[in-house]
Amino acid sequence: MPRSHEKNFQEETTMSIGIIAAGLAVLTGFGAGIGIGIATGHASDAIARQPEASGKINSTLLLGCAMAEGTAIFGFITALIIIFVG
Amino acid sequence: MPRSHEKNFQEETTMSIGIIAAGLAVLTGFGAGIGIGIATGHASDAIARQPEASGKINSTLLLGCAMAEGTAIFGFITALIIIFVG
Amino acid sequence: MPRSHEKNFQEETTMSIGIIAAGLAVLTGFGAGIGIGIATGHASDAIARQPEASGKINSTLLLGCAMAEGTAIFGFITALIIIFVG
Amino acid sequence: MPRSHEKNFQEETTMSIGIIAAGLAVLTGFGAGIGIGIATGHASDAIARQPEASGKINSTLLLGCAMAEGTAIFGFITALIIIFVG
Amino acid sequence: MPRSHEKNFQEETTMSIGIIAAGLAVLTGFGAGIGIGIATGHASDAIARQPEASGKINSTLLLGCAMAEGTAIFGFITALIIIFVG
């Protein structure tokens, strides 16, 4: 029983190190969050200046945010792979 | 059996250290996320000033975002290589 | 056999430490991502001011982004060398 | 033989620590990436103000980017020296 | 012989720590890269305002970039000295 208990501890330690890596990976979304915020803020200013251009501005904002969101998704996929595969 | 168990633990520990590297690598997307956000924000401002130039501005935005996204993809590919090959 | 097993573990540990270096190296793209975003943002503003100069502005943007992307590629190549050669 | 094996491990560990130095060295490109982006952004603004001066502005941009790229190349060369020589 | 072998290991470990110092040293180029980019950006703005002064502006830019590049070269030389001499 002490053996198996020790083994259990080792497995958990190993898994924990990998989980820290998953935590690091998903931090990629930090940058995307800042970037999307900057983009949305400027888009709001822009619509205030030209309310009739709001459709065009919204589509540009959607284009940019989708690409920024993509960088966050890279981090999220990497985190999932680390947890379930690695 | 204790031997093989110990070996198993060592292999898993080794893999875990490599997985932290994958977590670091995918953080490259952090910068790309901020950069794409800055670009999208300025593009929104630009469309507000010249709504009729929105086509040209969107294509320029797409050109820049594709290159910024490329830097995030470098990090993502490196992370995948580290997890599945390294 | 225990000896060879131990050796195997040592080799793998060594490789893992090197892989963290690969994760660090590819982070070079972080700066390029921000830089390309700044460049694209200003290019969008510029096209709004002079839509008829969009061709010249796009070629200047492409010139600058290619050089910034180059710095990310340095990091990516270094990461690949570390993983597959070092 | 156990002795030589141990020595082998020590050599490899030593090399791995050096490779982390290579990962650090190539990060020099981080700054160059941001700098080139700032330069390209201002050059785009400048061309919008004086489209007829785009040739002169592009050559100035190329001059500056070449020097900024140079700082990234210093880091890249140092990383290669550390991997293959050091 | 075990003694000399152990000494060998210690020397190599020492060298590895020194190589991390080389990686740190060359990071000096980080700041130079950003600085050269800012200088080039403003020089582009200046040429747009006074295209006929582009010769003078370029020579000033070259003077400034040469000095900023100098700071990167200090880091590069220090890294080379650490690798090959220290």
Of D17, D45, D65, the CB nearest to C46: D45
At residue D65, does pLDDT exceed 60?
Answer: yes
Q: Mark yes or no for CB contact B37/A64 under 8 Å.
A: yes
Q: Is the distance from CB of B40 to CB of A62 less than 8 angstroms?
A: no
Q: Which two tokens stand for residue D38?
A: 């700032």
Closest to A58 in 3D by CA, of D11, C81, B48: B48
Q: Is A78 on the interface with B (CB under 8 A)?
A: yes
**Structure letter (DSSP) for residue D52:** G
Closest to D56 in 3D by CA, of C58, E40, C73, B44: E40
Distance CA D28, CA C81 (A): 17
Read off the pLDDT of residues C43-67 as tens digits, 9 standing for 90 and up: 999 999 999 999 999 999 999 999 9
At residue E2, does pLDDT exceed 60?
Answer: no
Q: Is the distance from CB of D58 to CB of D43 less than 8 angstroms?
A: yes
Domain harbouring A21, CATH code: 1.20.20.10
Contacts of D18 in chain E (CB under 8 A): 15-16, 19-20
pLDDT at E27: 92
The number of domains in chain D is 1
Q: Is D75 on the interface with C (CB under 8 A)?
A: yes
* Helix or strand (DSSP H, E) at E22: helix E2-26
Residue E1 confidence class, pLDDT cut points 50, 70, 90 = very low
Contacts of C30 in chain D (CB under 8 A): 30, 33
**Structure letter (DSSP) for residue E1:** -
Look at residue A85 and give its three-state secondary structure: coil
**Per-residue pLDDT averaged across B19-44, rounded?**
93
Read off the pLDDT of residues A3-56 as tens digits, 9 standing for 90 and up: 555 656 666 666 677 888 899 999 999 999 999 999 999 999 999 999 999 999
Q: Mark yes or no for CB contact E40/D61 under 8 Å.
A: yes
Read off the pLDDT of residues E4-36 as tens digits, 9 standing for 90 and up: 555 566 666 666 777 888 999 999 999 999 999
Q: Is A66 on the interface with B (CB under 8 A)?
A: no
**Count of CB atoms situated within 10 Å of the CB of C79:** 36
Number of residues assigned to chain A: 86
Q: Is the distance from CB of B28 to CB of C30 less than 8 angstroms?
A: yes
pLDDT at E83: 87
**Per-residue pLDDT averaged across C1-22, rounded?**
64
**Which domain, by its residues, includes D7?**
2-84
Residue C19 confidence class, pLDDT cut points 50, 70, 90 = confident
